[in-house]
Amino acid sequence: MADPGATLLDRLAGIVGRPHVLTSAADVAPYLADWRGRYRGATRAVVKPGATTEVAAVVRTCAEVGVAIVPQGGNTGLCGGATPDATGHEIVLSLARMNRVRALDAANATITVEAGMPLAAVHEAAAAAGLVFPLSLASEGSCTIGGNLATNAGGTAVLRYGNARDLTLGVEAVLADGSVFEALRGLRKDNTGYDLKQLFIGAEGTLGVVTAAVLKLFPAPRTRVTALAAIASVECAVALLGRLQRALADRLTGFELMSAFSLTLSRKHHPGAPDPLPGHPWYALVQADDAVTDAPLAALVEAALAAAIEAGDAADAVLAQSGEQAARMWALRENISEAQRREGPNIKHDISLPVSAIPAFMAECGDGLTRAFPGSRLVVFGHLGDGNLHYNLSAPEGVVADAFMDNAERANRIVHDLVAHHAGSFSAEHGVGQLKRADLVRYKGDVELRLMRAVKQALDPRGLMNPGKVL
């Protein structure tokens, strides 16, 4: 009797080509662990299709024999959403070979790309046409568009441009039975029933495999101002945000809040990083852009920051005097996550709240965590402009970080209960994956969960699409 596993692999090799079915331990190892190293699984094979027709044939073949599929993009996720389970029965479906621009319509300000295209490559393609795709993440060199859509990625420009969901006009996706949902329409207005593409954005591959997308493009900024402000408190940060929004309107692209300790970690693990305003408890990194050449943006930002200092909303501020200085300021912010990883395990929270609720939440949550874990160190940073904070907890000095991780469930409960109390979300931009499934059940309402399960049942009745994630 033929080995059913070998038969399946032979069939998959016939679809994508033998070199694109990886089975050796060395070849599959990079696909089996998440970026943080928290989850590790096993797989029958990593299959790398090169076209939507191949994805459809792979999914159809796996469906025929009842084998589950774990879609994977750049494998930069933080919640285990792209990691297979430990059984070794699942197939990892890597979209890395599907990395082409299918179309760029400058007049319509859209670009159609395949799901395996790295985010940075989309930036480059847009820039070549004098346009910009504004989704920006620290991992943009390795994360892919498929993963960005799967988690509804946010990043540093949500304040002005919105999440991945807001930047997507159409998608192409392969469903659990191998059929192709083709909705690659570059329309801003299309009121013809249910907006089905939205089902696949933020679904983490549990409803189908996104293979391509039509994305919005925008005029490239010709004037750009980056500034760092020192702030006495979170209340002052919220006041400064409001002041800048009134002064700059939609030219305010980003407003990043960073605690002093988070920047200390960034500098520790990235020597030579700037420290232009030492000695303050909080900092805000401000980005303002204008598509008009020689717009008086610097003067507007400088005047707004001067008024903020006079009013007590900021203690001090400095404007980048060159593109290099601006890049170094942004690197200081973007290197925080990597610095945390080098520092050792820490308890992470990706939360969102109404901006108005953030000061009260921070005070209450800080007090609760200090009482529960004396000496623990908070690493707080994130996109204050859209209410998204990365609210992380590091071990006290002298405490082994791995042992401190045993407190994760207790810390999560303190943080997430307070987030819920303030009408927030326990997952802002990282998704649910494996990490937060219990939180979904705890904090979502019964009707909402019932509807989510009904959608899952309708699109994937056998549970073969990324099982064990989200629901």
Instruction: Say whether pLDDT at 334 is over 80.
Output: yes
Instruction: Say whether pLDDT at 1 is over 50.
Output: no
pLDDT above 90 as % of the chain: 90
| Least confident window among 4-13, 273-282, 462-471 | 4-13
Q: pTM of the entire structure?
A: 0.92
Residue 2's pLDDT band, with cuts at 50, 70 and 90, is very low
Residue 400's pLDDT band, with cuts at 50, 70 and 90, is confident
**Tokens (6 digits) for 445:** 């309402």
Say what the pLDDT of residue 398 is: 86
For Cα atoms 113, 119, 124, give the angle at the middle one, nearest 5 degrees: 80
Say what the pLDDT of residue 220 is: 94
Q: Please state the length of the chain.
A: 471
- The residue ranking higher by pLDDT, 342 or 305, is 305
Mean pLDDT of 126-130: 97
**Tokens (6 digits) for 118:** 């790295």
User: Mind listing the domains of the chain with CATH numbers?
Assistant: 4-94 (3.30.43.10), 101-219 (3.30.465.10), 223-337 (3.30.70.2190), 344-446 (3.30.70.2740)
Mean pLDDT of 98-115: 98
Q: List pLDDT tens digits, range 218-264.
A: 999 999 999 999 999 999 999 999 999 999 999 999 999 999 999 99
**Rg of the Cα atoms in the chain:** 23
Whether 160 contacts 248, CB under 8 Å: no
Where b means 16+ CB within 10 Å and e means fewer, 340-359 reads beebebbbbbbbbbebebbb
Q: List pLDDT tens digits, range 136-193.
A: 988 899 999 999 999 999 989 999 999 999 999 999 999 999 999 999 999 999 999 9
What span, in angstroms and rounded, lies between the C-alpha atoms of 154 and 149? 10
Say what the pLDDT of residue 37 is: 84
Instruction: Say whether pLDDT at 5 is over 70.
Output: no
Query: Which residue intervals of 373-464 are DSSP H helices?
Result: 401-404, 408-421, 437-443, 446-459
| Contacts (Cβ under 8 Å, ≥6 apart) of 452 | 444, 470, 471
Whether 50 contacts 94, CB under 8 Å: no
Q: Count of CB atoms within 10 A of residue 98's CB? A: 24
Please state, rounded to an integer, the average pLDDT across all residues of the chain.
95
What span, in angstroms and rounded, lies between the C-alpha atoms of 412 and 401? 16
Q: Count of CB atoms within 10 A of residue 196's CB? A: 12
Residue 6's pLDDT band, with cuts at 50, 70 and 90, is low
